[in-house]
Chain A
Amino acid sequence: MGFDELLKSKKVLICCGSGGVGKTTLSAALGVRAAELGLKVLVLTIDPAKRLATSLGLDQLGDEQRQIGQGRFVGELYASMLDMKKTFDDFIIRLAPSPAIAERVLKNNVYQQVSTALNGSQEYTSLEKLLQIMAQKKFDIVILDTPPTKHAIDFLHAPIKIHTLFQDSIIKWFLMPFTTLDKMSLGLMNRGTKLAFKAFEKLAGSEFLSNLTEFFASIREWQKALRDRTAEVHRLLTSNSTGFVLVTGFNSVKIEEARFFERTLKKGGYYLSAIIINRAFPLWEQSEIGVGELIDDKKDSLGENYRLITEYYRSMQKFYRSQQTAFKNFAGEVRQNVIFALLPDFDQDIHDVDSLKQVADRLVEEFKEQKTL
């Protein structure tokens, strides 16, 4: 399987990777390729730094789905940026049993401070948005560019934190002493819980705690809806029409991370479709051995300056070659059905549809070459 087959066979591609590896650019490049193949594709980015917008030469990319390069492709390319606050608010409004309750939550001080700041809420919201988009059935394929995390795997772990927070038991726990606020309920709590609660109150102050309790009281009603939603997300992520693409940089630390990512996905029942090693070598240093050799015999006649620049060339070449060896060892370890691609460091800034197309062409081409590795 190559990238073309991958794009044609999946409904969702999730691009993961730690920050700074070019995830957004590659998501956009895959989007361009999908549109060239005649698909109707949406690239959804979450990144607050608006990198996809820069990648596409658009200054402002909003919550709405904007068509890119209309008429340039056989298919259609759309891009959209996640508005976290709006998605979270919409989510609350839709799940709330009544508009009054929704309003109470939206106005709650704790909700306002925490909704977009909760650990994992960015990831949770992006998956919520993905579900909404999938329900519209408007696109052949959606490419999700995930938020920048320290480690690629964080994307999968983060939503679990949110889910746990909204679980029935924790909500009940926070409600207990305040909804009934009498000695009885405190008496009914076990000793450990009571002490932990008191310790928390001492730390956070009672005003915060009552705000928090009000927040949990408001959302108590929609436990089932939340649980269903989480199950739906999980179904979508483990579906065989969803593929994960790991985008990574090129050094031994990143390769270690890729190895961990691959193993964790396998364990969790997710489908890893591709590993893209970005900026693995400069364009002059071709991946095949033999190309990229200098004409050595003339060097004496060309003088000191030629010697100097040759030395510089050699140190750069050595640097990139040692990285490639590490990659090849890693590629050998991974399953056969995962696409591997090494991308060069392009001699230009990637910021418009034309340059994205170049990246996409290279992806397809690189893969063909590397199959014979």
Chain B
Amino acid sequence: MNLTNQQLVFVTGKGGVGKSVAAASIAWSEARKGKRVCLVELGSQSFYESFFEIRGIAYDPSELVPDVHIALFTPEDCLKEYVLHYVKVKQLYEIFFQNKVMRAFLNAAPALAELSILGKLTGALRGIIKSDYDLFVVDCFSTGHALALFRAPFGLSTVFKSGPLYEQSRDISKILTDPQLTHYVLVTLAEEMPVVETGELISQMRSELKCEPTLICNKLLNPPLTLDQRNQLSLAENDVTMKKFLDYLAFKEKSQNMQLQAIKGFAHSFYGVPIILNATSGQDYVEQFAKGLEKLYGI
């Protein structure tokens, strides 16, 4: 994948398409190019802990492999750091969070958690915090929720008309819409529903974020023989299972090609990643995946 100098990459897509693995692979390949990368997952539970079979992924980044650090940004942690940044006094922020009412409000308040996550991610770009990393790769929420995250600062700058939250929302919006700083990656499968959803998402992102997302098509079937070669196999009469398997491959390939055609309707190119069947570990999976990010398919 060809990232220039962007310092923030968001990876999103419909649930189950392999966003997290894609994000990890991007982090991997960028680290290979000599960047110091922080892979960030959002939410309250870590996916990477079970995937990489490691423990202790937390708000403060820890080393996964040299040059790739990993962190889990929970909304609570982001909000805390965020409030602390603005109220300055530590005791005050403790009062703030120990107050039952305030906590209930912060938990339900729309966009505040989102804003604090984005605040943390863009902190270095806004010159507010010092960063040890050249690049943040964010394993973002899935489609609908990701859009809500990206929209949060735009919505908030109309709700808050003044004050630090207003200024911050405005600054974050600028970073999210600056292609020199922020890049978006959408992961899809070559299946009807994910493709339709990706098409809708890409047009919304183009118009609202003024961006041109990179597309990754995951779990592509790549049989060792072409359809013609497979048809020329002379199978035994009772080789029922192989017949079924070949029918399956033929069907899957046909619908896959149809969906790749459909992608033409909204994208110029994509990275194709074959289905990975024999990964021996999370790291092995990521490295196999990263190979798929080396070649861009033009349409």
Contacts and interface: CB of A to CB of B under 8 A. Distances in A.
Given A113-B158, A119-B110, A315-B278, A298 B239 contact: yes
B95 A195 contact: yes
Contact of B104 (A167, A207, A302): A167
Given A119-B113, A169-B101, A313-B245, A199 B92 contact: yes
Interface stretch (B1-9, B10-18, B59-67, B124-132): B10-18
Contacts of A305: 225, 229-230, 232-233
A274 B161 CA distance: 49
A136 to B, nearest CB: 29
A103 interface: no
Contacts of A74: none
Given A284-B241, A313-B242, A347-B251, A119 B99 contact: no
A347 B248 contact: yes
B159 A109 contact: yes
B108 A161 contact: yes
Interface string A189-208: 00011011001101111111
Interface stretch (B26-34, B170-178, B188-196, B286-294): B188-196
Given A120-B108, A167-B104, A349-B255, A202 B164 contact: yes
A119 B100 CA distance: 17
Interface in A199-254: 199-200, 202-208, 211, 249, 252-253
B252 A347 contact: yes
A204 B160 CA distance: 6
A151 B102 CA distance: 26
Contact of B244 (A110, A284, A318): A284
Given A192-B95, A196-B96, A200-B102, A309 B225 contact: yes
* Size range of the chain A interface in the assembly: 35 or more
A118 interface: yes
B238 interface: yes
Given A199-B92, A256-B50, A204 B165 contact: yes
B283 interface: no
Interface in A39-88: 48-49, 51, 54
A117 B241 contact: no
B133 interface: no
Contacts of A316: 277
A38 interface: no
A49 B193 CA distance: 9
Top 7 closest pairs, chain A to chain B, by CB: A19-B15, A20-B16, A20-B15, A205-B163, A117-B110, A284-B244, A165-B108
Interface string B261-275: 000000000000000
A252 B50 contact: yes
B43 A150 contact: yes
18 contacts: A54-B193, A118-B108, A161-B104, A165-B108, A192-B95, A199-B93, A202-B87, A203-B87, A203-B164, A206-B162, A207-B162, A283-B248, A284-B245, A291-B241, A302-B234, A309-B225, A318-B278, A347-B251
A319 interface: yes
A211 B160 CA distance: 10
A292 B244 CA distance: 9
B143 interface: yes
A164 B99 contact: no
A20 B101 contact: no
B48 to A, nearest CB: 10
B203 interface: no
A293 B242 CA distance: 9
A306 interface: yes
B192 A349 contact: yes
B289 to A, nearest CB: 15
Interface of B: 14-17, 43, 45, 47, 50-51, 83, 86-87, 92-93, 95-96, 98-102, 104-105, 107-111, 113, 141-145, 148, 155, 158-166, 191-194, 196-197, 200, 223-225, 229-230, 232-236, 238-239, 241-242, 244-248, 251-252, 255, 277-278
Contact of A21 (B16, B51, B158, B242): B16
Contact of B196 (A54, A205, A253, A310): A54
B55 to A, nearest CB: 14
B226 to A, nearest CB: 10
B86 A295 contact: no
Contact of A148 (B15, B102, B155): B15
B236 A298 contact: yes
Contacts of B159: 109-110, 113, 208, 211
A170 B224 CA distance: 63
A150 B86 contact: no
Contacts of B43: 150
Contacts of B83: 199, 203
Contact of B110 (A113, A199, A309): A113
B165 A205 contact: yes
B96 A19 contact: no
A252 B223 CA distance: 26
Nearest to A319: B277
B108 A282 contact: no
Contact of A283 (B45, B51, B244): B244
Given A169-B101, A199-B92, A256-B50, A119 B192 contact: no
A349 B191 CA distance: 8
Given A54-B196, A114-B110, A311-B224, A208 B87 contact: no
A148 B144 contact: yes
B193 A51 contact: yes
A193 to B, nearest CB: 6
Contacts of B233: 302, 305-306, 309
A150 B225 CA distance: 38
